[in-house]
Amino acid sequence: MSRLSERPDVAEVGKAIPHESAALHVTGQALYTDDLVIRTKDVLHAWPVQAPHAKARIVGMDVEPAYGVPGVVRVLTADDVPGVNDAGVKHDEPLFPDEVRFFGHAVCWVLGETLEAARLGADAVQVDYEPLPSLINVKEAIAAEEFQGAQPTVERGDVAGGLDGAAHVFSGEFEFSGQEHFYLETHCALAHVDEGGQVFVQSSTQHPSETQEIVSHVLGLRSSEVTVQCLRMGGGFGGKEMQPHGFAAIASLGSILTGRPVRLRLNRTQDLTMSGKRHGFHAEWRIGFDDEGMIQALEATLTADGGWSLDLSEPVLGRALCHIDNAYWIPHIRVSGRVARTNKTSQTAFRGFGGPQGMIVIEDILGRCAPQLGIDALELRRRNFYRSVDGVDQTTPYGQPVRHPERIAAVWDQVQESGDVLRRREEIATFNAEHPDVKRALSITPVKFGISFNLTAFNQAGALVHVYKDGSVLINHGGTEMGQGLHTKMLQVAATTLGVPLSKVRLAPTRTDKVPNTSATAASSGADLNGGAVKNACEQIRGRLEQVAANGLGVPAADIRFVDGEARAIGASGPGVAWDEVVRTAYFQRVQLFAAGYYRTEGLHWDSSVMRGSPFKYFAYGAAATEVEVDGFTGAYTTRRVDIVHDVGDSLSPLIDIGQIEGGYVQGAGWLTLEDLRWDESDGPLRGRLATQAASTYKLPSFSEMPPDFRVTLLEHAHEDGVVYGSKAVGEPPLMLAFSVREALREAAAAFGPVGTTVDLASPATPEAVWWALSEARRGHDTDHLVEGKPGAQPDLPDPEAPPRRPESEVEQVLLSEA
């Protein structure tokens, strides 16, 4: 067992404690960025001027009328930027554009004494546009060959030969939507400049160091002249990894120019229409199976809808390609990827970061093909799991060994047993036979998710730990808190490493002048990276204090242990020395009581040019069984029960981890079943406008969608060596457990037809989509989009060079079929 993962017998980690800010959250005392405005004097408010076109050239702008509005102080335009007029790390996101690239694009910003003054001033700004042709959906971009960024391929084996030799070959295509983050706290920044010209920005950001970098280059300053602090976020989910930077830069620029603090907070409609979402994808695929249902070969093309700029589309696409295998061994595989450029918001990171988009493709394929193969979908999935062969772990398509593959089967078998799946499926079969207009189904899907940033350099972290003379401890680390419980875990790690009660340790807000050059709190790596850095800093301090205590007790330093706030010698029967006393003695002996900790993830290597290597420290595993009931008249459905077994290693904080698993599942179910982003694709004046720009038109999962029976179990005996205290990440992997609800809905819809029926289920599987699927099943038709070739045949994939076939509307499909 490594030193990093070794856990002492008495530890604060592993205890089920509440979130460190839970009481503040529920009492309304927790402070967020915008709460600081009332504590700040003479604040100006920012409001955007948003373009009413999906794509247009700006041919004229008159800001003078805005100054006629009482309370307007300044209008910010490109002429005001002292540094680089760009808010992105790829330099493809002009802060003040000369060409509008999506409906709602901010072309300038108005600063006012009040928010209302700024809004009225923005209305007064006169902008002349020359509308240009636009691309709104991914198929339009594919037809126009409008792509951006790299076009990587993951490949292994002989795909053509594998398909030639397969007994059953299927092909199809699959398009699925993105997802709105809909965090409770919208994008927000508050900036002011001190007497020395130092810029201080309070920002709701997952990546303070990158916010600092972007603000610096917009203002033409060095990074050391800008400090960014994130107190906490009211949710992030990836939406605040890249996108806060431009808003912080606007607030900072306004503060520099006016000499006053500037607050920028988007209202909900602005946030929905201006900020990026999860990438929707279009997939074309061809797959071969043998007679036993074993996957022989897979060929696929994944096209991500990137929106108007690159943002994080390239790494999102890369992770999708690296996760298309999910938990399944695919001997011959070739998966190509590309990013479409469309005139929509620039799509960005979202919980799972491309992993869900890759994994849903193989899960959709297996769900569609299982009835055609005459194999139960649960059995088809289990047969194809990764395993060790003659003691050697099978490898992913990009060449990384899948360590602990037995855990895939372990979580699967445990969820089957604890969920009493076999008995319940028999009951469901009986129920379905007796109820022609209501059907139930129960499906299980697995999760294998790689943990670490795909970009190796991001896998590092720092921390700063202070021990004060009175024995109290203050920790700073580079991770940000967005409600996920990272700070709670870091408090537990520090207390465990120092051997003191949790009450001794306090945590300071994340800020760039305490811990520099931090990575984003993303990729489910927050606890791994920052926990390693906090542990390292605490170990330095503990090592010094062990020597002080050893001198006082007359034993070797190696024999000292700090337990429950007391230094004790191994094997000694007498009393130890209190932590506070050791600390006080150390101070008077001039022993350093603070330390900067550092951690870098070992064992990673990745070559993105050939998509080969070992980009992940380990894989997190899980399985979920979901039972649903579908109404055959409306397509409405309820989730009756969910059983989950998930692998978090040796949990740092079980209460936090179970909450993350529950929340991840529900958010994933929202993406797959409810949350339906719609843009106006007509040729009218509102082309490109986001139609679902409020909670009234964008349906989020709520209490009514929660399963009444929701059971979550953490996999036991799952220690992960080489990770802080043997734990595993929990932020993103649980979201993919929700594939089980979509597959259950597919099986329930198919149950309205004859045995062996397969249905093509849209994503999100809204009640409307489920109704179309079950109506198709009732007519006894297989999906037109799933084609089986004869043994050895290779059904053609849609020609990517050809314009996409525009399918008939759902109403037209029904009328044609009935005719």
Stretch 396-414: mean pLDDT, rounded? 98
Q: To 5 degrees, how large is the angle CA 582–CA 584–CA 587?
A: 110
pLDDT single digits (tens) 281-332:
999 999 999 999 999 999 999 999 999 999 999 999 999 999 999 999 999 9
Whole-angstrom Cα distance, residue 303 to residue 310?
13
* 806 has a pLDDT exceeding 60: no
Stretch 790-807: mean pLDDT, rounded? 39
Which token pair is 285? Answer: 């695929």
User: How sure is the predictor about 790, in pLDDT bands with cuts at 50, 70 and 90?
Assistant: very low
User: How sure is the predictor about 2, in pLDDT bands with cuts at 50, 70 and 90?
Assistant: confident
Whole-angstrom Cα distance, residue 62 to residue 76?
12
User: How sure is the predictor about 795, in pLDDT bands with cuts at 50, 70 and 90?
Assistant: very low
Q: To 5 degrees, how large is the angle CA 296–CA 299–CA 300?
A: 140
- Class of residue 754 by CB neighbours under 10 A (exposed 0-12, middle 13-18, buried 19+): exposed
* 800 has a pLDDT exceeding 80: no
Task: Report the SS3 class of residue 708.
Answer: coil
Stretch 525-551: mean pLDDT, rounded? 98
**What's the pLDDT score for residue 277?**
98
pLDDT > 90: what percent of the chain?
Answer: 93
pLDDT single digits (tens) 638-665:
999 999 999 999 999 999 999 999 999 9
Stretch 3-26: mean pLDDT, rounded? 96
User: How sure is the predictor about 786, in pLDDT bands with cuts at 50, 70 and 90?
Assistant: low
The 3-state DSSP composition of the chain as helix, strand, coil percent (nearest 5) reads 35, 25, 45
- 145 is an active site residue: no
pLDDT > 70: what percent of the chain?
Answer: 95
**What's the pLDDT score for residue 1?**
73
Cβ neighbours, 10 Å, residue 251 = 30
Q: What phi-psi label fits residue 64: left (phi over 0), alpha (psi between -120 and 50 degrees) or beta?
A: alpha
Q: What is the C-alpha radius of gyration for the chain, rounded to an integer number of angstroms?
A: 28
* 799 has a pLDDT exceeding 60: no
* 140 has a pLDDT exceeding 60: yes
* 706 has a pLDDT exceeding 50: yes
Residue 480 and residue 515 in contact, taking contact as beta carbons nearer than 8 Å: no
Characterize the bridge pairing of strands 199-203 and 226-230. parallel
pLDDT single digits (tens) 742-777:
999 999 999 999 999 999 999 999 999 999 999 999
* 121 has a pLDDT exceeding 60: yes
Whole-angstrom Cα distance, residue 678 to residue 693?
9
**What's the pLDDT score for residue 200?**
98
* 22 has a pLDDT exceeding 80: yes
Of 20, 210, 481, 732, the active-site residue reads 732
State the average pLDDT for the chain: 95
Picking from 263-267, 530-534, 703-707, which range would have the lowest pLDDT averaged per residue? 703-707
**What's the pLDDT score for residue 426?**
98
- What lies within 8 Å, CB to CB, of 546 at 6+ separation is 557, 558, 560, 562, 567
Give DSSP secondary structure letters for 446-510.
EEEEEES-SSGGG-EEEEEEEE-TTS-EEEEES---SSSSHHHHHHHHHHHHHT--GGGEEEPPE
Q: To 5 degrees, how large is the angle CA 7–CA 8–CA 11?
A: 95
Residue with tokens 């207390």: 495
H/E stretch holding 230: strand 226-230
